[in-house]
Amino acid sequence: MSGFQEIAQQFTEYYYTTFDNNRSNLAALYRDQSMLTFESNAVQGTSGIVEKLVGLPFQKIKHQVATLDAQPSSEQGGILVMVTGALLVDEEERPMNYTQVFQLQPDGHGSYFVFNDMFKLIYG
Helix (H) or strand (E) holding 20: helix 3-21
**Alpha carbon of residue 123 to chain centroid:** 19
Statement: residue 1 has pLDDT above 60: no
Strand partners, 59: none
Q: What is the pLDDT of residues 39-71, one digit of tens each?
A: 999 999 999 999 999 999 888 999 999 999 999
Average pLDDT, the chain: 94
pTM of the model as a whole: 0.93
Q: Of 52, 66, 67, 42, which is closest to residue 19 (Cα–Cα)?
A: 52
Give the model's confidence band at 2: pLDDT under 50 very low, under 70 low, under 90 confident, else very high: low
* N-terminal to C-terminal alpha carbon distance within the chain: 34
